[in-house]
Structure 1
Amino acid sequence: MVAITRGTLARKLQSSNKTISTVVSGTVRKQSTKKKTRTVKQCTLSSSSNSTTSPPLQLYNEVAGKSNIIGASKYDLYGNATGREYDLGRDGAFRAYNILIAQLYSDVPFDDVAMQKPIDELNVKGFQVKHVKTEDECIKELASNRYEIAWIISTSRIQNSKFISALTAFHSTGGGIFLFADNPPYTCHASEFLKTQFGITVDGCYQATQTLTYKENGHQQTGNFGQHEIFTGITHLYEGHTICHPVYSTPESRTALLTIATATDGNPCIAVYEPPTTSTEGRLCLDCGFTKLYIDWDSAGTGRYIINTSCWLLGIEKRLK
């Protein structure tokens, strides 16, 4: 599986000079009453701005939470509205915030070149980005208290026994985490963290490569994603290449994360954690197909989804209270 991915990457990176496509998506409603209340709060905070707009609202565009964009001047070849005004976050609005990218899986040709696309797009939103490639560097940076968000791109094994405890400490004090996994064995960091926190692991290798479709309440329906701020401006979203899925150890663990997108094999492929309002924890998003960062950035909705998620993980509503 991975050999195919690497070959595809090399060909795409050597031949592509295209501008990064901007993509859009929708917003999922949680099913339980408790979680639905939190989702409604988020949508209220990101509604259309006016003269009384509060600071959190100014970070989001007026379309925040809307997947279907009606009346856009242009749509891309996947049917997503083009234009940065259809992203979740406003350009340049996040200059006060920092993201740590820990690219622990690096066995990809030209991976520095490939990772530059997401970094450039984060910079457009204003984020300051630090890119590291080892657990030791990641642990050191997490301990600096400089970062509001950490991307963790899993690889095949954990080398530093302190890594998970460092990531747990970061999350417990409000750090947002974007967990990326792929086909085994490149699931280790995401799986170990989720097992420690929620009793969840990730496994499986589905040769996906299809496009998911927005459906307002379709987050648990095969081949669909539902309504959530992460999917602002996106009606069609690439599901990934060789993807895994969550495995739940107990009935309780099934309620820890909210599935917001279901792959074409019927398994969750994107899930989020929204901490209780009284918790000091940060938000979390699990993505089960990290090759989209390397070889499929220009596919349906990928770029917009990744950047939208980073803006959402900040949890700005709680930070500015």
Structure 2
Amino acid sequence: MVAVTRAAAARQQQSSKVTSTVVLGAVRKRCVKKKKKIVGQSTSSSAPSSSLQSYNEVAGKSNITDASRYDRYGNPTGREYDLGRDGAFMGFNILIAQFYSGFQFNDAAMQVPIDALKVKGFQVKHVKTENECITELASNRYETAWIISTNQIQNSKFISALTAFHSSGGAIFLFADNTPYVCHASEFLKTKFGITVEGNYYGGKTMTYKENGHQKIGNFGQHEIFTGITNLFEGITICHPVYSTPESRTAFVTIATATDDNSSIAVYDPPPTSREGRLCLDCGFTKLYINWDSAGTARYIVNASCWLLRIENR
């Protein structure tokens, strides 16, 4: 099959005649020429993948006080409080490259986040080797790649392949944990920003939402990624980015600070004119397989995957 570019895939999606998507229990019909009005959504003739159509009305809001139910961590229950609408991301593809395969991180554990992504409409491919990842990245089938780091890079071409993917518009969700399980994230960020990743802090605590609290110990601030989350588990054994210059700190921005007063989640949002994709670094990947049911984890991971698409620019 002939591979198409991410841009071409987006155009093909926009030109499709009608796509039916289940949104909050109702069938949403999307058509370039004519779209049925949905409460809280724009009626303009923009492409069907616009953020107004793909995001819930609470997008960007953490402190939700009028939900009918809250979980035991104080976060509102119900997928209407997620960033992305159910089914709204059909036609978008995520590549998950899982290089770490240690304690309890098996296929069954990885299937849980994959299933959560599919609820939003994403198609997901799961690979476990750098060679497979390089091949898939070059196929131009994916808008986003998850990179789950381990302790050693096997293929010397991996970082250049990942850099090329990012430079051509691919978004990347970087997952690291305690040193030495940081290699893939650290080497990529070193190439991109001059930033390295290191550390072995035993966390196990919960970060809380605080207005403008991005860089305050044990807090996170306003960001679309934290939609519907007031309490978020920080991870167990966690690392942190080490910024080599003030410029790198400005470009690669902390949005959550762990209880050791180090950045635990950081993002790169390229300028509107840039062809690069977005980036997100998570410094405690045990969230994916041991702590999926901890405070806010599942919502945060899926929210971040939706935000990475930069769908408002598509």
Task: Give the alignment's TM-score, normalised by structure 1.
Answer: 0.83
Larger radius of gyration: 2
Q: How does 1:305-316 map to 2 (within 5 A)?
A: 305-316=300-311
2:159 maps to what in 1?
164
Q: Deviations over 1:80-105 (max 9, x none)?
A: 00000000000011111000000000
Residue 53 of structure 1: how far off its partner (Å): 8.2
In structure 1, which of residues 217, 228, 233 is the aligned counterpart of residue 212 of structure 2? 217
Counterpart contact for 2:58–2:227, Cα < 8 Å: yes
Deviation of the 1:109 alpha carbon: 2.9
| 1:280 maps to 2:272 | no
Change (3 A) 1:192 1:74: same
Residue 298 of structure 1 pairs with residue 293 of structure 2: yes
Is contact 2:105–2:289 with CA below 8 Å preserved after alignment?
A: no
Render the CA deviation track for 1:59-95: whole Å, top value 9, x for unaligned.
1111101001121111000000000000000001111
Please report how far the alpha carbon of residue 50 of structure 1 lies from its aligned counterpart in structure 2 after TM superposition: 4.4
Matches of 1:119 and 1:155, distance apart in 2 = 20
Give the secondary structure class of the aligned counterpart of 2:291.
coil
| Structure ranking higher on relative contact order (CA contacts 8 Å, 6+ apart) | 1
Does residue 122 of structure 1 match 2:114?
no
User: Where does structure 1 lack aligned partners over 5 or more consecutive residues?
Assistant: 1-46
Q: CA deviation at 1:49?
A: 2.5
Correspondences of 1:248-287 after superposition (within 5 Å): 248-287=243-282
Q: CA deviation at 1:190?
A: 0.1
More helix per residue: 1 or 2? 1
State the secondary structure of the residue aligned to 1:77: coil
Q: Give distance in 2, aligned partners of 1:128 and 1:297.
A: 20
Matched, 1:65 2:57: no
- Residue by residue over 1:140-197, the C-alpha shift from the partner in whole angstroms, topping out at 9 and shown as x without a partner, is 0000000000000000010000000000000001101000000010000000000000
Residue 267 of structure 2 aligns to a residue in which SS?
strand
Other-structure match for 1:108: 103
- Letter aligned with residue 217 of structure 2: T
Q: CA deviation at 1:134?
A: 0.3
Contact 1:104 1:133 in 2 (8 A): yes
Task: Could you tell me which runs of 5 or more consecutive residues in structure 2 were left unpaired when the two chains were aligned.
Answer: 1-38
Q: CA deviation at 1:253?
A: 1.7
1:197 and 2:189 are equivalent in the alignment? no
Alignment correspondent of 1:18: none
In the superposition, relative to structure 1, how do residues 277 and 110 fare at CA in structure 2: closer, same or farther (>3 Å)? closer
2-structure distance, mates of 1:251, 1:301: 31
Tell me what 1:143 maps to.
138
In structure 2, do the counterparts of structure 1 residues 53 and 305 end up closer, same or farther at CA, with 3 Å as the change threshold? farther
1:132 aligns to 2:124 (yes or no): no
Is the 1:260–1:271 Cα contact (8 Å) retained in structure 2? Answer: yes
Partner AA of 1:253 in structure 2: S
What percent identity do the matched residue pairs reach? 77
Give the CA RMSD over aligned residues.
Answer: 1.3
Contact 2:202–2:236 under 8 Å retained in 1: yes
Residue identity opposite 1:92 in structure 2 = G
May I ask how many residue pairs the two structures share in their alignment?
A: 273
Aligned to 1:13: none
